[in-house]
């Protein structure tokens, strides 16, 4: 196993000069994927839809929470005057309201996460297609994401703004 690893390292080092020599002839682009996507009109529109959905769901949850609080307050105010059967019924109703609140909260969260996933997936697919077309049309040999593993890239290689403009079309 160590021999194979050593052989791979030696081979990589031996091929490095050839790769570097060809790199001078390569056309390379760098794109900040996050920025390219997040600065598009479609993504911003999607975020606004998500915010509106979250606000709507929060209002629904707030109304149900108020209903629970009112039911609890009413029950506490009448506890002494209620029969044990009526008290048990009210407690059961409040318990059911709390369950409903919990379900609605979970459903709202799942819906928002699902919509967020759809937005990101749609934009990711569009970005991928745009990058391929841009790369072919522009004669690029390689387009790299600006990421943590890229320690430095010449700003002249950055094509993020061009990609964002194409995504907005």
Condensed to tens digits (0 to 9), the pLDDT of residues 75-94 reads: 888 888 889 999 999 999 99
Mean pLDDT of 115-132: 95
Judge whether 19 lies within some domain.
Answer: no
Q: pLDDT confidence of 58, banded at 50, 70, 90?
A: very high
Sequence-distant (≥ 6) Cβ neighbours of residue 157 within 8 angstroms: 28, 29, 30
Judge whether 61 lies within some domain.
Answer: yes
Judge whether 3 lies within some domain.
Answer: no
Judge whether 8 lies within some domain.
Answer: no
Q: What is the pLDDT of residue 24?
A: 66
Domain interval for residue 78:
24-168
Q: 142 and 131 in contact (C-beta within 8 Å)? A: no
Prediction pTM value: 0.72
Judge whether 148 lies within some domain.
Answer: yes
Judge whether 112 lies within some domain.
Answer: yes
pLDDT over 70 at 13, yes or no: no
Total tally of structural domains belonging to the chain: 1
pLDDT over 60 at 117, yes or no: yes
Give the tens place of pLDDT for each residue, 140-158: 999 999 887 778 888 999 9
Judge whether 4 lies within some domain.
Answer: no
Percent of the chain with pLDDT over 70: 85
């Amino acid at each position: 196993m160590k021999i194979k690893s050593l052989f791979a390292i030696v081979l990589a080092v031996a091929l490095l000069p050839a790769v570097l020599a060809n790199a001078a002839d390569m056309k390379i682009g760098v794109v900040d994927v996050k920025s390219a996507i997040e600065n598009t009109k479609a993504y911003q529109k999607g975020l606004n839809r998500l915010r509106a959905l979250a606000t709507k769901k929060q209002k629904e949850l707030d109304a149900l929470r108020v209903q629970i609080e009112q039911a609890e307050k009413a029950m506490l105010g009448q506890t002494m005057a209620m029969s044990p059967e009526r008290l048990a019924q009210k407690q059961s109703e409040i318990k059911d309201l709390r369950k409903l609140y919990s379900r609605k909260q979970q459903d709202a969260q799942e819906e928002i996460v699902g919509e967020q996933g759809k937005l990101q997936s749609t934009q990711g697919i569009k970005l991928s297609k745009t990058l391929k077309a841009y790369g072919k049309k522009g004669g690029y040999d390689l387009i790299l994401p600006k990421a943590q593993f890229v320690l430095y890239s010449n700003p002249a290689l950055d094509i993020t703004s061009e990609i964002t403009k194409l995504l907005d079309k």
